[in-house]
């Protein structure tokens, strides 16, 4: 039998009341409520451009008094103040100190009334001469005339608290600013446009539907509400679990985009590992000599190869040694191998395979590895077939690093591996943020618990707790259910003026 209108109505109300009751717990929602009922925030200002000498510097003001502040300190050539100038237009004029009427700088100034601004508040932006002194002087006069200095990330925090973007989008702003490669920039841009939020919101809606069914079933046990069956909840729960697993499966790629593909160069001494690092970086970063055991410590550098972010690590040549410093270096190299996303194993083709080479073959055989047969410019003594038999299914590239031969092939291979299924990045919704990953893992645990309880036909109120838990975990990603302490921590990692 279909559920009656009465039950459906009740389910919806229940759902709404549950949502609002829970939402009240969280400060961010209270802020949004404050905003709706008119408790505005104060007026903030900060320098938005990087410190130092530059063509222009920008100072931004946001809040209910922003235009008043701008009004007090600006006059255009016709002696009109800011409010009398056109909105959303760069107005040419001067900043004056109202204390003594002294001219401070020649500027272009714009004001935009909320809510169609970055923060949804009134915004004023001053474009002045770049350089530490003019920018600082103008900021000082702004602060003396009704604004206070913004905290880190406070403009974006307001955009969030005023409901223009959610928390995952605010976090994407920071990622966008700090993006080191085209790929991580594109992923951050997707997140800013709401790729994570929309996936999470879809899941939250499914969970809200499940909760409404559960509540109706608890409140109307006597009604035959067909959709409330355990199997129906199970079906929806599995759908949520699948989606969460899919998002979690992108975490590895996200980590690479954030931290770079951890690539360890490994080989016995003197095969050309440091030469390779220098060739990839196109600078003499590491010392290269023909003395085996030259590199003793680990050298880490970030490099961008055809858009692929690499954290490339040169290590000490692997061999048994009495030298304490070198031995520590060798131990460190082996340790790094365990954390590596990728290994570049270098062999010297001008020599036969040695005991150390066999040891290295042993270390890398189960790892994602590119094999380099280096010093191909010298007469070959190494039996390549033997090596390929020991290391089947590995990509093998012939190089003469000191002559810069084969480096482009290596770079193409790295790009190919990154873009192919070996290291996937084709999915536009990629979880790059550790906080999002942690919440997804918690959400996964909760929905799995709910599914187990459903299988065991446990009472519905027990199952409800886990579904609510899952909904809350997902809400922490978008900021619907996040506490003020977490919000403060997130925005404290922003730069000033953003
Ligand atoms: N002929 C030739 N020599 C090379 C090639 N690549 C590197 N070399 C030389 O091999 C020697 C050792 O190079 P490195 O890059 O220091 O080797 P490494 O593996 O870092 O050595 P360790 O730090 O001692 O482990 C240097 O003299 C390089 O110039 C190559 O392709 N051909
Ligand atoms: Mg070296």
**Residues 410, 270: one domain?**
yes
- For the ranges 24-33, 193-202, 402-411, 428-437, which has the lowest average pLDDT? 24-33
Predicted TM-score (pTM) of the model is 0.70
Task: Specify if 158 maps to a domain.
Answer: no
Predicted pLDDT at 223: 59
Domain that holds residue 294: 256-423
Q: What is the CATH number of the domain that holds 382?
A: 3.40.50.300
Judge whether residue 426 has pLDDT over 70: no
Task: Specify if 299 maps to a domain.
Answer: yes
Query: Is the bond into 115 cis (omega within 30 degrees of 0)?
Result: yes
Tally of domains within the chain: 2
Per the model's pLDDT, the better-predicted residue between 8 and 364 turns out to be: 364
Check pocket membership of 294 for ligand 1, CB cut-off 6 A: yes
Kindly report the backbone phi and psi dihedral angles of residue 366, in degrees, each rounded to the nearest multiple of 5, phi listed first: -100, 15
Sheet-wide strand order for 148-149: 74-76, 91-97, 102-112, 123-129, 56-62, 44-47, 148-149
Task: Specify if 315 maps to a domain.
Answer: yes
Task: Specify if 415 maps to a domain.
Answer: yes
Task: Specify if 206 maps to a domain.
Answer: no
pLDDT in tens, 476-493: 999 988 888 888 888 888
Predicted pLDDT at 3: 44
Predicted pLDDT at 356: 93
Which band of pLDDT confidence, cut at 50, 70 and 90, is reported for residue 190? Answer: confident
Domain boundary among 146, 169, 191: 146
Task: Specify if 93 maps to a domain.
Answer: yes
Domain boundary among 92, 122, 146: 146
Domain boundary among 384, 399, 423: 423
Check pocket membership of 267 for ligand 1, CB cut-off 6 A: yes
Which band of pLDDT confidence, cut at 50, 70 and 90, is reported for residue 273? Answer: very high
Predicted pLDDT at 231: 84
Task: Specify if 379 maps to a domain.
Answer: yes
Task: Specify if 304 maps to a domain.
Answer: yes
3-state helix, strand, coil in the chain (%, to 5): 50, 15, 35
Predicted pLDDT at 494: 82
Q: How far is the CA of 124 from the centre of ligand 1 (A)?
A: 59
Judge whether residue 17 has pLDDT over 60: no
Predicted pLDDT at 38: 46
Ligand 1 atom with minimal separation from the 316 CA:
25
Residues 55, 77: Cα–Cα separation, whole Å? 22
Residue 465 C-alpha from the chain's centroid: 31
Q: How much is the mean pLDDT over the chain?
A: 87
User: Of 271, 275, 354, which is best to mutate to test ligand 1, by the most ligand atoms within 8 angstroms of its C-beta?
Assistant: 275
pLDDT in tens, 326-353: 889 889 989 999 889 899 999 999 999 9
């Amino acid at each position: 039998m279909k559920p009656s209108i009465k039950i459906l109505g009740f389910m919806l109300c229940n759902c709404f009341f549950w949502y609002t009751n829970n939402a009240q717990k969280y400060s961010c929602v209270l802020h949004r409520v404050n905003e709706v009922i008119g408790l505005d925030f104060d007026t903030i200002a900060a320098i938005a451009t990087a410190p130092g000498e530059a063509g222009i510097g920008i100072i931004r003001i946001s809040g209910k008094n922003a235009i008043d502040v701008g009004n007090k300190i600006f006059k255009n050539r016709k002696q009109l103040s800011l409010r009398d100038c056109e909105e959303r237009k760069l107005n040419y004029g001067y900043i004056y100190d109202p204390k003594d009427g002294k001219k401070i700088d020649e500027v272009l100034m714009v004001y935009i009334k909320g809510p169609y601004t970055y923060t949804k508040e009134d915004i004023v932006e001053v474009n002045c001469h770049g350089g530490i002194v003019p920018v600082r002087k103008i900021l000082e006069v702004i602060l003396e005339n009704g604004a206070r200095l913004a905290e880190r990330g406070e403009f974006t925090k307001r955009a969030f608290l005023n409901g223009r973007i959610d928390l995952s989008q605010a976090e994407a702003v920071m990622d966008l600013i700090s993006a080191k490669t085209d790929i991580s920039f594109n992923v951050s841009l997707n997140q800013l446009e709401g790729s994570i939020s929309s996936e999470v919101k879809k899941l939250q809606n499914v969970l809200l539907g499940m909760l409404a069914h559960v509540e109706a079933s608890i409140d109307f046990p006597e009604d035959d509400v067909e959709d409330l069956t355990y199997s129906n909840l199970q079906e929806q729960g599995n759908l949520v679990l699948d989606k969460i697993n899919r998002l979690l499966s992108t975490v590895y790629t996200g980590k690479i985009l954030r931290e770079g593909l951890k690539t360890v160069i490994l080989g016995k001494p003197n095969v050309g590992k440091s030469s390779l690092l220098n060739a990839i970086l196109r600078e003499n970063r590491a010392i290269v000599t023909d003395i085996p055991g030259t590199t003793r410590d680990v050298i880490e550098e970030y490099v961008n190869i055809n858009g692929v972010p690499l954290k490339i690590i040169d290590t000490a040549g692997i061999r048994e040694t009495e030298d304490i410093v070198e031995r520590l270096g060798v131990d460190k190299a082996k340790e790094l191998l365990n954390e590596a996303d990728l290994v570049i194993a270098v062999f010297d083709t001008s020599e036969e395979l040695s005991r150390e080479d066999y040891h290295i073959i042993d270390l890398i055989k189960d790892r994602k590895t590119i094999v380099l047969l280096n010093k191909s410019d010298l007469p070959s003594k190494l039996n390549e077939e033997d090596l390929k038999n020991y290391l089947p299914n590995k990509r093998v590239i012939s190089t003469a690093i000191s002559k810069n031969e084969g480096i482009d092939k290596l770079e193409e291979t790295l790009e190919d591996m990154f873009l192919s299924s070996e290291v996937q990045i084709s999915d536009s919704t990629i979880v790059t943020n550790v906080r999002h990953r942690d919440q997804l893992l918690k959400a996964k645990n909760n929905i799995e618990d709910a599914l187990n309880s459903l299988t065991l036909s446990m009472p519905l109120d027990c199952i409800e707790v886990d579904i609510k838990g899952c909904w809350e975990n997902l809400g922490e990603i978008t900021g619907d259910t996040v506490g003020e302490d977490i919000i403060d921590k997130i925005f404290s990692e922003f730069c000033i003026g953003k």
